[in-house]
Amino acid sequence: MPDALITPELLRRLEQFQLLAARRAKSSAKGERRSRARGQSVEFADYRTYVHGDDFRYLDWNLYGRLDRLFLKLYEEERERPVRMFLDASESMTFGEPRKFDFARQVAAAIGYVALSGFDRVSVNPFPDLVNGPESDPAARTMELAARGALRSVRGKKSALQFFQNLGALTAGGSANLNQALRRGALEARRAGLAVVISDFLDPEGYEAGLTALVGRGFQVDLVQILAPDELSPTTFGDLNLVDSETGAHQEVTFGRFRLKAYRQTVQNFVQRLREYCQARGINFFTASSNTDLQDLLLKQLRKAEVWG
């Protein structure tokens, strides 16, 4: 994979954006997101009647002069918003040229950087759990486990470099277990915030149960589906022995040029069903080939959909 997930030029452009929250933040930690909490920031929110013990500094004396009653000025306190990313690190994500997993990490890096620049707390949940096969390098496994642990909670723009390095240390392998990962993440979250799911969504068990868990927990959900060019438009024909990259199952097929149209329609139907499922539940949905220009996805599609601005 490239030495850098994101070029310095793109990072400078991303610094101009901030994630747009459809729901107000509920975190107890201070940040830069508006919340329902009433505090003492510079953003005026409302008045309430003075009660004994209130701080005299926040009385509105001009209003007292007009109404001969004491009112306290309330201000909207800024809170951080938790941004939880679910990154598909299953074996199927190693397919394609460029690899889907490499592009997925770039997308995660960009979204994470915008969030960190806005003082949001970021967590990355790669799934499935790290595979411990017979050929696993113990030292590499230890390093990746450390990287996964560090990605569980990241805050502040100063953490961006280490954040990128930890994303770069991730590897892909094993079966996805998408629903399980999303349900577990929804249950583990102390507070709902923004959930970003980056995957090919090719899990045989589907995606409905996991996404329902996130929405039911109160998350604002964004989906980025990444497929390889050869998945969208294959170029291999003839008698083929297909091997499932996650289960190892074999399937012999004869794939002629005349079947290419039917295959493409099947892919389009799959993507359309996922899109309609998301639209019905207020989920932002994006789909991209792994050879998509990263700037086009980040600076045009996501901005147009008001994921950030």
Q: What is the pLDDT of residue 48?
A: 74
Question: What separation in angstroms does the CA of 177 have from each of 11, 105, 172, 190, 206?
Answer: 32, 19, 13, 22, 9
In a domain, 21, yes or no: yes
Residue 301 CB-half CA count within 13 A: 16
pLDDT digit string, tens, across residues 93-115: 999 999 999 999 999 999 999 99
Cα torsion 57, 61, 62, 64: sign: positive
> Do 44 and 168 sit in the same domain of this protein?
no
Compute the mean pLDDT over every residue in the chain, rounded to the nearest whole number.
84
Q: Are strands 250-255 and 238-243 parallel, antiparallel or unpaired?
A: antiparallel
Report the amino acid identity of residue 219.
F
State percent of the chain over pLDDT 90.
Answer: 55
> Do 146 and 282 sit in the same domain of this protein?
yes
> Do 243 and 131 sit in the same domain of this protein?
yes
> ω into residue 2 within 30 of 0, thus cis?
no
pLDDT digit string, tens, across residues 248-281: 676 666 666 677 788 888 999 999 999 999 999 9
Domain extent for 64: 31-79
> Do 265 and 176 sit in the same domain of this protein?
yes
Number of domains in the chain: 2
In a domain, 2, yes or no: no
In a domain, 44, yes or no: yes
Report residue 51's pLDDT band, with 50, 70 and 90 as the boundaries. confident
In this predicted structure, the answer to whether residue 45 has a pLDDT above a threshold of 80 is no
Enter the pTM of the model. 0.79
In a domain, 267, yes or no: yes
> Do 218 and 163 sit in the same domain of this protein?
yes
In this predicted structure, the answer to whether residue 39 has a pLDDT above a threshold of 50 is no
Instruction: List the CATH number of the domain containing 189.
Output: 3.40.50.410
Residue with more model confidence, 48 or 244: 48
Q: What is the pLDDT of residue 35?
A: 43
> Do 59 and 191 sit in the same domain of this protein?
no
Q: What is the dihedral of CA 21, 24, 28, 33, to 10 degrees?
A: 50
Q: What is the pLDDT of residue 293?
A: 94
In this predicted structure, the answer to whether residue 64 has a pLDDT above a threshold of 60 is yes
In this predicted structure, the answer to whether residue 77 has a pLDDT above a threshold of 60 is no
In a domain, 1, yes or no: no
> Do 156 and 35 sit in the same domain of this protein?
no
Domain boundary among 17, 49, 79: 79
Q: What is the pLDDT of residue 2?
A: 42
In a domain, 268, yes or no: yes
> Do 263 and 130 sit in the same domain of this protein?
yes
> Do 120 and 257 sit in the same domain of this protein?
yes
Helix (H) or strand (E) holding 79, with range, is strand 71-79
Domain boundary among 79, 95, 115: 79
In a domain, 3, yes or no: no
Least confident interval from 126-140, 158-172, 287-301: 126-140
In a domain, 171, yes or no: yes
> Do 234 and 95 sit in the same domain of this protein?
yes
Q: What is the pLDDT of residue 30?
A: 47
> Do 48 and 189 sit in the same domain of this protein?
no
Q: From CA 140, how far away is CA 170, in angstroms rounded?
A: 10
Q: What is the pLDDT of residue 196?
A: 97
In this predicted structure, the answer to whether residue 214 has a pLDDT above a threshold of 90 is yes
Report residue 23's pLDDT band, with 50, 70 and 90 as the boundaries. very low
Q: What is the pLDDT of residue 240?
A: 57
Q: What is the pLDDT of residue 244?
A: 64
Q: What is the pLDDT of residue 113?
A: 95
> Do 36 and 139 sit in the same domain of this protein?
no
Exposure string for 107-124, b = 16+ CB within 10 A, e = fewer: bbbbbbbbbbbbbbbbbb
Residue with more model confidence, 207 or 27: 207
In this predicted structure, the answer to whether residue 195 has a pLDDT above a threshold of 90 is yes
Q: What is the pLDDT of residue 253?
A: 63
Q: What is the pLDDT of residue 252?
A: 66
